Each structure stands twice: as structure tokens, then as C-alpha cells.
Structure 1
Amino acid sequence: MDAAIPADRKRVWKTPPGVTLCAESDIADPGSRGFVLQIGEAYFHGFVVRKQGQVAGYVDRCPHQGHPLAIELDRYLTPDGDLILCGWHGAVFTPLTGACVGGPCAGAKLSPWPVVADGGVIRTA
């Protein structure tokens, strides 16, 4: 699987607030789900993690080499659900803060993507 983004596919790093992403129940606890949103002519790639009744969103880009984190669709967490895992180089991050706690980018952080769960629905914030 090639993680490279085609050169003709422009990326954006932010989304407008209020975009409905999914029902909160669509993501297991702990669990995760990736999203690609078209913003004008460009695309935003992000993911949402749900853990301990809370949600957190991140730009789908590892601070180590800029690759998307998941190798398999929606598989952002370690098998036990404790950490976010970059499947390419093994970096691990805390789900609710995005802090890298191990691997090649230890001490770095994932870029946050503001999301909120309200009334059973997850939206951009």
C-alpha cells in the first residue's frame, strides 16, 4: 500500500466548524475512525479517537515522516486500544493528548483537529 498523496491532490490542514462526521456510537470505546473531507478543491485527512467516553481528533500525519498513521482503514490504535500507533515506523501516541511516548518521534505531538461530541454526534469544532 502506497501512503503517498498524489501530487495533483491538494491538502488542507484545517476544517470549518460544525461539519457532522458521524454518530458517537459509530466509533467503539476505545476505537478510532479516519475521515477524508473535501474542502473546495483540496482534501483534509484526519481521524477521531474515542476513549474513556471522550473524543479527540488529529490530522492524519505522523510527525516523524509525514505519512498517514494507519496502514489499515480506521486502525489507528494498538490492538489493546491503549495508544495510537503509526503503523509505518512504530511511533506511539497517547489517545487524548496526541503526545508521542515512544518510537522515532518521542517527545513530538500529533497535530490536533478540533472535534466535539454533542448529543451523540461528533462534529468538527
Structure 2
Amino acid sequence: MTETPAPERKRVWSTPPNVALCAETDIADPGSRAFVLQIGEAFFHGFVVRKDGQVAGYIDRCPHAGYPLAMELDQYLTPDGSLILCGWHGAVFEPLTGVCTGGPCAGGRLTPWPVQATNGIIRTA
């Protein structure tokens, strides 16, 4: 008996504005959280970082190899919370700008995902 492979999930790379994601306090400072949003028949994969009272969102895709960054759910930051870490190849990124400061894609950057915190709620922008 041969197994039928699971159908590939379609991906989208942007989200509509004003989608409530979570309370700002649901993410530690510093901290991070993954989000998967279904948009029609496709899925968006992103994450939000909270640091120094600010939030930034990124598409969950390393610019070096195209993999999701975290090897464990919601674990996007280095242990000290100072940088975003690609668990696959060791690239590190500034949390609020997405600029790669070391590793195989130094000088590159993560793709921003527009988010904002307003009245204690993080939403897509």
C-alpha cells in the first residue's frame, strides 16, 4: 500500500490590516510569539517580537535559506533576549529592525510584517 503525500499548504506573504493577534502583555518583554493566520485557502506564517516596550513583526522565513527561524515554538530570541536567532544556521538579527548582524546572511534583513500595539492589543497594520 502506498501512502498519498499530504497536500502542500499554500502560503501567502501578507495579511489584511487590523487583525487582532493578542494582548501586548501576552508576549514577554523581551519575548516573541509565532502566528499562523488562515487567509482564504492559504496560510501566513509570521512572528512578533516585543522588546523595550516596542513590537515588530516579521515573516517567519530566514533570508539565508528560506526556513522558519525558530526550532521550537515561539523561541525566536537568543537566551538573553537581545537578538533574533535563526536556529538552523545561526544568523542573528536586530529585534526591532530585522537587520542581520551576523551569520550567513550578514547585511541582509528579515521581511517585515506590519504590526502595531494600540490600547494594549497587537494588531496587523
Q: Is TM more than 0.5 here?
A: yes
Residue aligned with 1:33, SS? strand
CA shift for structure 1 position 7: 5.8
The residue correspondences of 1:34-49 to structure 2 (distance < 5 A) are 34-49=34-49
- Give the Cα separation in 1 of the matches to 2:70 and 2:88: 8
* Divergent runs of 4+, >2 A: none
Give the total of aligned pairs.
120
Residue aligned with 2:11, SS? coil
Residue aligned with 1:81, SS? coil
- Aligned position for 2:3: none
- Give the Cα separation in 2 of the matches to 1:31 and 1:77: 7
Amino acid at match of 1:46: G
> Does 1:115 pair with 2:115?
yes
* Identity over aligned pairs, percent: 78
- Aligned position for 1:13: 13
- Aligned position for 1:60: 60
Query: Where in structure 2 are there 5+ consecutive unaligned residues?
Result: 1-5
- Give the Cα separation in 2 of the matches to 1:78 and 1:7: 34
CA shift for structure 1 position 8: 1.7
- Give the Cα separation in 2 of the matches to 1:116 and 1:89: 29
